Amino acid sequence: MNAESAGQLAWITLVVGGIITFAVITGFAYTTLLERKVLARLQHRVGPNRAGYVPIPRRGKKERRLLGGFMQPAADAVKLFMKEDITPIYVDNVVYNLAPMLTVMPVILTLAVIPWASSVTLFGIDYPYLAIAPGLNVALLFVLAITSIEVYGVVLAGWSSNSKYAVLGGIRSTAQMISYELALGLTLLVPVMIAGSLNLNDIIVSQQETAWFTILQLPASIVFFVAALAEMQRAPFDLLEAEQELSSGYNVEYAGMRFAMFFMAEYMKMIVFSALWVVLFLGGYDIPFINEAAIVSSADSTVVTILIAAGQVLSIILKIVFSLFLMIWIRASWPRLRYDQLMDLGWKTLLPISLLNVIVTGVMIVLAEEGVFNSLISAFGG
């Protein structure tokens, strides 16, 4: 690759990365609105319906308000910007200000390897798949390395705040994330073993050729989703910020935009973990019941290729929204676990299930490669 091509590739990556990052940050804002709307519907409440709406007049009747509350995220942002940002005395100023950044930056970095569509051509450069950093053969290892940094933001926020409640919240987060990362890591081995690659796009292609891994590996899919909820400290695993016990926990001494960064990290993690779950178990950008590769090869048209890519992006977005809905539904339905129940679920249930599943999957793959199943089918068929 010459210098001109390298520079062009860098500019394209910068543009694609800016677009995806802006879309996810905007999506985080409206994920908060989605959660408030869905929770209100499930709990028989009204929810946000005042800040911004489209009035539709009706003759002789009260006007109908369409999209009521769609400006609520903007109103929340303005409120947080205008709130007084107080720094308590005796805090460690450097770590206290660094902690919110450490919670947000790893989440944004994880977006770099998420595939949003299959092979595309942008400005004369062929991409193996649409992503900020396509072609990374160890993408899953990159995700594990980056997401493990998130715990430092929570722990350091609690330690630097000079508050006993905040410290307890940070300690809880350490124990919780270590407990559930073991089950999460073992579960991630299952798609890797079946696809034979750490590249996220290869995992999607493997699902296109066989079936979605949530069908082939339903236990692994469920364990991943539950462990991801615990990693994000979402209900019913939100023990580290339990208001009744810890007065909001690790972020109790934060206000204004620094508190908003913790808030933003939580909802961006919901989007990122949903994207990972979709890529690993729900076929990623694969459009159900449609063979995109066959359509592109038969049509051989730029317009068809663009339409298929747009459909794939829409497909993965809809799957992410479905995952977000499940997370919100669980929050509305399940009470918060006790701390001993949280640890028991991680160590005594999810970890043994994920370990047993890895062993069984490995044995089945070896037997399939040795042709044992073909012999059995032939024997029963004969």
CA gap 173, 339 in Å, rounded: 11
Average pLDDT over residues 100-126: 83
In percent, how much of the chain has pLDDT > 70?
A: 92
Closest CA to 150 of 96, 113, 87, 108: 108
Q: Which residue has the higher pLDDT, 218 or 378?
A: 218
- Residues 249-277 pLDDT 10s: 788 888 888 888 888 888 999 999 999 99
Closest CA to 131 of 217, 227, 204: 204
- Helical residues (DSSP H) of 282-349, grouped into ranges: 292-299, 302-333, 339-344
Q: Is residue 57 part of a domain?
A: no
Q: Which residue has the higher pLDDT, 252 or 241?
A: 252
- Helical residues (DSSP H) of 119-217, grouped into ranges: 139-147, 150-160, 164-195, 200-209, 213-216
For position 61, what pLDDT does the model report? 78
Q: Give how many domains the chain has, as a whole number.
A: 1
Residue 283 has pLDDT above 60, yes or no: yes
Q: Is residue 141 part of a domain?
A: yes
Check: CB of residue 61 under 8 Å from CB of residue 40. no
Q: Is residue 62 part of a domain?
A: no
How would residue 123 be classed by pLDDT, with cut points 50, 70 and 90? low
CA gap 284, 265 in Å, rounded: 23
Closest CA to 246 of 308, 178, 161: 161
- Residues 174-217 pLDDT 10s: 888 888 988 999 999 999 999 999 999 999 999 998 889 999 99
| Residue 137 domain boundaries | 83-381
CA gap 80, 251 in Å, rounded: 15
Longest dimension (CA), the chain: 81
CA gap 125, 377 in Å, rounded: 46
How would residue 354 be classed by pLDDT, with cut points 50, 70 and 90? very high
Residue 173 has pLDDT above 90, yes or no: no
Place of tokens 């999957």: 361
Q: Is residue 105 part of a domain?
A: yes
For position 282, what pLDDT does the model report? 94
Check: CB of residue 61 under 8 Å from CB of residue 238. no
Q: Is residue 214 part of a domain?
A: yes
For position 53, what pLDDT does the model report? 76
Residue 1 has pLDDT above 90, yes or no: no
pTM for the whole structure: 0.90
CA 51, distance to chain mean position in Å, is 28
CA 23, distance to chain mean position in Å, is 14
Check: CB of residue 150 under 8 Å from CB of residue 174. no
Q: Is residue 39 part of a domain?
A: no
CA gap 123, 7 in Å, rounded: 12
How would residue 9 be classed by pLDDT, with cut points 50, 70 and 90? low
CA gap 245, 248 in Å, rounded: 8
Q: Is 35 helix (H, G, I), strand (E, B) or coil?
A: helix
